[in-house]
Amino acid sequence: MSGLPAEGRRRTVIENVTPQVDGGRFPAKQVVGDTLVVEADVFADGHDEVRARLSWRPPDNPAWQQQEMDPVGNDRWQASFRLGEVGRYEFFVSARVDHWRTWVHDLQKRVAAGQDVTVDLQIGAQIIAAAAERAADADHASVLTETAAQLTASTALAPGLTEIMDANPDLTWATSLDSPLAVVVDPVRARFSAWYELFPRSASPDPKRHGTFDDVINRLDYIAGLGFDVLYLPPISPIGRHFRKGPNNRESGTAADLGVPWAIGAPVGGHTAIHPQLGDLGGFDRLVHAARQRGIEVALDIAFQSSPDHPWVTDHPEWFRARPDGTVQYAENPPKKYQDIYPFDFEASDWRGLWQALNDVFRFWIGHGVNIFRVDNPHTKPFAFWEWCLNDIKADHPQVIFLAEAFTRPKVMYQLAKVGFSQSYTYFTWRNNAAEMQEYLEELTRPPVSDFFRPNFWPNTPDILHADLQTGGPAAFEARLVLAATLSSSYGIYGPVFELGESTARELGSEEYLNSEKYQQRTWDLTGGARLRGLIERVNGARRAHPALQTNERLLFHPADNPNLLAYSKNTANQRDVILTVVNFDYHATHSGVITIDLAALGLVDGAPYEAVDLLDDQTYTWIGPRAWVELDPTVRAAHVLWLRQLP
């Protein structure tokens, strides 16, 4: 006979294990302190009882821990375990036919029918005796041996016997997954964080003096007061001189032009050097320390590209693509040309050397206290590089968080998340009505996407001034802030540009800022923007105070009878913290409507009164039943953020 399996006596089937990403090719994502809920379809042929078991092990621990899974209906089984440390956990599901429980089940029916069970007890005794031989616990072995010798129907059906039998299962023909699945456990900031971006060169209060790290240190109390816990800095490396850009992206005409921070590298150094006008490495270390004292982590921008003046252009010309005329290929997005930036050639003959050098850049800054990196344009570098690099770094530094700045095709963005990026920029900026925002969030916050992809919402960036912010006035800034901060547990603003309501584009139809900080130093008068700044403080305070806003797991949309209104809630698993947000997408007109709230999903009692406390201004409303009327005048308020509480 040919084609027989190696073993044909394994009868249980395991299917549809969750969470898993691409059949286990990539790990799922959680944060420390989470409980990982694992489910699987487990069944066998015939009517025999089956049992399923979950096994898992923490990072750097070879010992497997085990727990029996519970049936939840329709051959679906579930178990869970707590993720108590950062790093990579492994887990798998195994299943077996349980001959003991099958025998007990049949014995109960035979006894109830009054049948002779003499032979059945002999069969049961054999099953118990075999368990006694397997038992590692001497007390278990003794009890099982004695029971097998004098088995009766009453002793066979005693609950205590089945408990001991469960502890000594027959795993001879157990089925298990071909290989373990994995979950990467990150620090809590990978899921819940509020980012504030600034250009250090613009931190100087004197427009005639280039900003320094000490100027940024002087800004930390202000940033902490707004409620942000991540300070994101664009590249701080030396800026190239050749083809340097001047204000509004024009070609530089004077040595006074500062250039673009993403044109990395000068004779004084490259990716691990400090731009001299910002200070030195000691100054950067002081900034990291001072920020951490205030509960703020410094996130550093890593852009894997160079200026024509980067030392690597001379030392490693093989890492760049040469043109037939002998020049180096600069960055292009035809018809746009970026002569001040050279991309690396990831198809270079010395690709291994290039990979290692880039890996070393991360490791250098980790050595100086940076645990969060915003990575520029990762979608223009190979997935294989990122999978190796990020996993290699996290193997040594599991606390490190990587944010992918990849505004590109959805499948590419998702692949970057799968290979190791902790968070990602999204299309949030371009979802500009209630219906498309709801559709997008339902994609991002539900499996399978939510198993591996963590969104980080930004109303604006140095590259993106959306048309809504250009024309929507203060209400647009307020609405987009509330949407970003309450729809996503991680969000950021490019400030102080955002909090001061900068809305002038470089030209009609452009998303570029006029007089953008990318090309020049700006000096900001932070005495302005009081209303928006007060809203930022309120929103960030609500996020810190309410655990419901610190995750995306239970985001639920509620129907509104006005298409300009978007209503959605978040709540904790125990339903003790419930937040309902309503946003007006028309920034120029008052809109009202009835929201139909799913009270049962939020743990509220239909027919009993409950309070809705607006966390933005402390106004309190009392509602009864699922239908609630709201009105939003954008000159007064663009949104409600309501804390719902059942009244006694």
Strand, helix or coil for residue 72: strand
Alpha carbons 421 and 378: distance in angstroms, whole number: 10
DSSP state of 425: -
Catalytic residue annotation? 376, 405
Cβ(485)–Cβ(539) below 8 Å: yes
- The beta-strand segments (E) located in 165-295 are 175-176, 181-186, 193-197, 230-233
Using a 10 angstrom Cβ sphere, with 0-12 exposed, 13-18 middle and 19 or more buried, the burial of residue 74 is exposed
Q: Tell me how far apart the 2 most distant CA atoms of the chain are, in Å.
A: 104
pLDDT for position 443: 98
Q: Which residues of the chain have pLDDT under 70?
A: 1
Task: Residue 213: count other Cβ atoms within 10 Å of its Cβ.
Answer: 24
Exposure string over 613-625, b if 16+ CB within 10 A, otherwise e: ebbbeeeeeebee
- Contacts of residue 142, Cβ cutoff 8 Å, sequence gap at least 6: none
Alpha carbons 537 and 528: distance in angstroms, whole number: 15
Q: Which of 333, 410, 348 is nearest to 382 (CA)?
A: 348
Strand, helix or coil for residue 497: coil
Alpha carbons 387 and 417: distance in angstroms, whole number: 10
Instruction: Give residue 614's Cα distance to chain centre.
Output: 27
pLDDT for position 1: 57
Q: Where are the domains of the chain?
A: 12-184, 189-550, 556-646
C-alpha R_g of the chain: 30
Specify the DSSP element, H or E, that contains 42: strand 35-44
Strand, helix or coil for residue 219: helix
Q: What is the DSSP string of 539-602?
A: HHHHHHH-GGGG-STT-EEE-BSSTTEEEEEEE-TTSSSEEEEEEES-TTS-EEEEEE--TGGG
The alpha-helical segments, DSSP class H, found in 267-346 are 281-293, 311-315
Instruction: Determine the number of helices (DSSP H) and then strands (DSSP E) in the chain.
Output: 15, 29
- The beta-strand segments (E) located in 45-122 are 50-57, 65-68, 70-73, 76-82, 87-97
The CA distances from residue 632 to 479, 559, 564, 616, in Å, are 11, 16, 10, 13
User: Two tokens at 186?
Assistant: 């990150």
Cβ(182)–Cβ(89) below 8 Å: yes
DSSP state of 334: T
Alpha carbons 306 and 327: distance in angstroms, whole number: 15
pLDDT for position 3: 83
**Domain spanning 12-184 has what CATH number?**
2.60.40.10
Alpha carbons 355 and 363: distance in angstroms, whole number: 13
Matching fold, domains 189-550 and 556-646? no
- The superfamily in CATH containing domain 189-550 is Glycosidases (3.20.20.80)
Task: Residue 8: count other Cβ atoms within 10 Å of its Cβ.
Answer: 8
Exposure string over 94-117, b if 16+ CB within 10 A, otherwise e: bbbbbbbbbbbebbeeeeeeeeeb
User: Two tokens at 246?
Assistant: 């001047």
User: Two tokens at 462?
Assistant: 């140095």
Instruction: Give residue 104's Cα distance to chain centre.
Output: 47
User: Two tokens at 156?
Assistant: 């066979």
Cβ(241)–Cβ(248) below 8 Å: no
For tokens 């100054």, the residue is 283
CATH of 556-646, one of 3.60.20.10, 2.170.130.10, 2.60.40.1120, 2.60.40.1180: 2.60.40.1180
